[in-house]
Amino acid sequence: MKMTFQKLVIGASMAISVSALATVPAQAGTLTGATIGGTAASDYLVYDVEGSSTKLVDKPSANDVQKVLDGDAAHPTGNVELRASSEGAGFDFAKNTTLTGQIGGKSIILSSLTETDWFSTGSILNKTYGAQNFANTWFNQFYDAAGLTSSGFISRSQAYASFFGINGFQRTSDPNISYVNQNDITGEIKIGLAGHFNLKDYYKPLLGTSGNLLKDGFQASEVVKVTYNDKTDFLYSFSATATELTNSSGVGADGKSHSGNYEVSIKGVPPVAVPEPSVILGLLGVAGVFATQRTFKKASI
């Protein structure tokens, strides 16, 4: 009877341990091992958070890059701007800046966009409205989001020409990455892009009187190129949530940047479950009971 009771206890212990092992969530979460690279590896900026402002980090280290990427949509912790010189004169649109790291045990690369990404080739015909490329696909959605469809005063081709003339595609190619997170169960990877909550504030001064046609409060993120699990996507959004932050401190502060968070996502590979240390110890304890039982049996022979 005593032996039967011991077997029942051991069997219950094993069942509990195995059940716990099966239900332990995978350990994934945020991007790790963040490094900056690309053909323009030095062209990036890091913004940390100070109160309700984002502040430019002077001479950022790898630790600074990693630190500002550990937030989420509810609590952004700054951002890393890739290809930060995109709005400057003499910008080389053939080069890119990348952010590489590991998430859920797999490599992921986030990159700024190049001229080839937008227009497919350098041909002047591919840079015009109506060409079959990503630039035209994206711009048609941008035109609608900006409320120009209902204005009736500027056609898509006219708006495209104006946008191209102010280097709009370059300006949209320098994504500010605020976080990279993964759902432990589904594997979904979410990426935060910091931008303007009201993009009219940004484009109206650049477009002059035409800027008055833009819908007040319209939203559009910059575009990020993401390579993960042998697949490359161009990710962007036309819907933002307020970050309660603005770029209001330090060099380049305008009091409006980083006020909106645009979240984009891709399907990721669910990470392999890793048992908690407590579960492993529990299993070792059960194994120890079995070892003791075998010792007692040998001793009684």
Please report the DSSP string for 242-276 in residue order. E-S-EEEESTT--SSTT-EEEEEEE--PPPPP---
Q: Are residues 286 and 214 part of one domain?
A: no
Please report the pLDDT score of residue 77 as a whole number.
85
Q: Are residues 204 and 161 part of one domain?
A: yes
Q: Report the 10 Å Cβ neighbour count for 280.
A: 14
User: What contacts 24+ positions apart, CB below 8 Å, involve 60-65?
Assistant: 62/34, 62/35, 65/34, 65/35, 65/36, 65/99
Q: Are residues 159 and 19 part of one domain?
A: no
Flag whether 237 is in a domain: yes
DSSP 282: H
Angle at the Cα of 171 (from 146 to 107), degrees rounded to 5? 105
Q: Are residues 243 and 182 part of one domain?
A: yes
In the chain, the amino acid numbered 277 is P
CB 182 within 8 A of CB 105: no
Q: What is the pTM of this model?
A: 0.82
Flag whether 175 is in a domain: yes
* DSSP secondary structure string for all residues of 138-170: HHHHHHHHTT-TTT-SS-HHHHHHHHHHTTHHH
Q: 254 Cβ partners below 8 Å, 6+ apart?
A: 247
Q: Are residues 204 and 291 part of one domain?
A: no
DSSP 70: B
Q: What total number of domains does the chain contain?
A: 2
Flag whether 271 is in a domain: no
Q: pLDDT tens digits, the chain, 301 residues: what are they? A: 545 545 544 454 444 444 444 444 444 589 999 999 999 999 999 999 999 999 999 999 999 999 999 899 999 889 999 999 999 999 999 999 999 999 999 999 999 999 999 999 878 889 999 999 999 999 999 999 999 987 778 999 999 999 999 999 999 999 999 999 999 999 999 999 999 999 999 999 999 988 999 999 999 999 999 999 999 999 999 999 999 999 987 667 889 999 999 999 999 999 876 665 554 455 455 445 444 455 444 444 5
Q: Are residues 172 and 282 part of one domain?
A: no
Please report the pLDDT score of residue 17 as a whole number.
47
In the chain, the amino acid numbered 131 is A
CA distances from 246 to 49, 67, 214, 262, 281 (A): 9, 18, 22, 14, 48
Q: Which domain holds residue 291?
A: 2-23+276-300
Q: Are residues 87 and 12 part of one domain?
A: no
Closest among 162, 171, 170 to 199, alpha carbons compared: 171
CB 24 within 8 A of CB 273: yes
Q: Are residues 142 and 103 part of one domain?
A: yes
Q: Residue 67: in which H helix or E strand, if any? A: helix 62-67
Closest among 173, 204, 195 to 240, alpha carbons compared: 195
Please report the pLDDT score of residue 23 as a whole number.
46
